[in-house]
Amino acid sequence: MTILLEGARLAQPKPERWRVAAADLFSSPVNAAVTVVVAGVIVVALWQFARWAVFDAAWSGGPEACRARSGACWPFVRSNAQLMVFGVYPQDLLWRPAVSLVLMAGVGVASMIPRLWSAPLALAWAAVPAAVCILLSGAFFGRPVSTNEWGGLPLTLLVWMIAFAGAFVVAVPLALARRSKMGGLRTAAIILIELVRGVPMLVALYVSRFIVPMMAPAFEVNLFVSVETALILFVASYLAEIIRAGLQSLPRGQTEAASALGLSYWRMTQLVLLPQALRAVIPALVNLGIGVLLSTPLVAVIGMTDFLSAVREAASHEQEWPGCYTTAYFVAGLVFFSICFIASRYSRWLERRLRAAGHA
């Protein structure tokens, strides 16, 4: 019966897409009115944007050209690209952050290829941030550069990468502790998670930068270290809950089968439970990753020149390039958006692929 119906439906000519869309959008007078109004708003917004970005924009020349036009100031971007991308890092050593960017982008791209998911990649996630730290600081090989001078996109990506990789290391034991049969361990994990999740990221940053050194003055803590400590704990508490949800979603039979085979708790967790749990929560992981990346500009409030503050810094030279804030923020937004857009498209692709392989 169903088969016959399917056949009949297939036999019908498929209506064109725009015809279906038009029928839906103008199905009643109210609908038609809403469609017209929304379309109008979209057209006006697009036109305004095009005027700003293209027709009224300055495309060449110097600051004078920009002063004469009311739109975007693209020459500003060209002449300030270096400051925007690398911040205040010493001019003559720019190859260091440049190589760092390439390294981190390399790990990022490699992480997107499921075939490469293996121990070496996990190692790369530990090795590359370390290598970038050495590169940027000049430790062991060249002129030292203090962390206060690190900045721009490499810093933002480095902060993000360490925060996320570090959080993973903390979150997995935290998630397991939260599910533990040992009451004390479980309580400790719950307290830590709820405490850290209960404060805004800004507060976590302040506490780690100003309050912890006040309570323990013996520790002279580097700005970079205190930022990462706060971020790792902050991200880990969210990550632990996601991982716990993944573990919770597994049928009990998986644990039973692994136990019955004589696998120890740790082997079972490592080989049977975590691989499945993590696969199950990939969308949530990507979501969290995007959220953390977009929150990194907050590190500026305790004095770090991340990508966004480097961009703001570039735009703040009013006497040279006046009124370039809009252009500068537009570029920053575009960079953040591109990274996150790629990540979210990728996550959708990955989900579909894992489902198609039938072992999601």
Partner 1 sequence: MRPAMPEHRLRQSLESVQGARRPPPRAAPAIEFVGVHKWYGAFQVLRDIRLAVDPGERVVVCGPSGSGKSTLIRCVNRLEEHQKGTIRVNGVELTASLKQTDRVRREVGMVFQQFNLFPHLTVLENCALAPVWAEGVKRPEAEERAHALLAKVKIADQAHKYPSQLSGGQQQRVAIARALCMNPKIMLFDEPTSALDPEMVKEVLDTMTALASEGMTMIVVTHEMGFARRVADKVVFMDNGEIVEASDPEEFFTAPRQERARQFLSQLLR
**What residues line the site for partner 1 (CB under 8 A)?**
251, 253-254, 256-264, 267, 271-272, 275-276, 279, 357-359
Q: Which is nearer to partner 1, 20 or 261 (CB)?
A: 261
User: CA-CA distance, 360 to 341, in Å (whole number)?
Assistant: 23
Closest separation in Å from C-beta 254 to partner 1: 6
Closest separation in Å from C-beta 258 to partner 1: 8
Closest separation in Å from C-beta 181 to partner 1: 12
Q: Which is nearer to partner 1, 31 or 259 (CB)?
A: 259
Closest separation in Å from C-beta 285 to partner 1: 16
Closest separation in Å from C-beta 164 to partner 1: 23
Closest separation in Å from C-beta 360 to partner 1: 8
Q: Are 165 and 239 in contact (CB under 8 A)?
A: no
User: CA-CA distance, 23 to 195, in Å (whole number)?
Assistant: 53
Residues 6 or more apart whose Cβ sits within 8 Å of residue 319: none
Closest separation in Å from C-beta 201 to partner 1: 33
Residues 6 or more apart whose Cβ sits within 8 Å of residue 78: none
How many CB atoms within 10 Å of residue 302? 16
Phi, psi of 305 (to 5 degrees): -90, 75
Q: Which is nearer to partner 1, 105 or 261 (CB)?
A: 261
Structure tokens that stand for 277 in this block: 């749990």
User: CA-CA distance, 212 to 192, in Å (whole number)?
Assistant: 16
Q: Which is nearer to partner 1, 263 or 335 (CB)?
A: 263
The three-class DSSP label of residue 73 is strand
**Which has the closest alpha carbon to 306: 157, 164, 121?**
157
Degrees, nearest 5: CA angle 147-235-153: 40
User: CA-CA distance, 173 to 184, in Å (whole number)?
Assistant: 14
Q: Which is nearer to partner 1, 131 or 250 (CB)?
A: 250
Q: Which is nearer to partner 1, 256 or 318 (CB)?
A: 256
Q: Which is nearer to partner 1, 274 or 310 (CB)?
A: 274
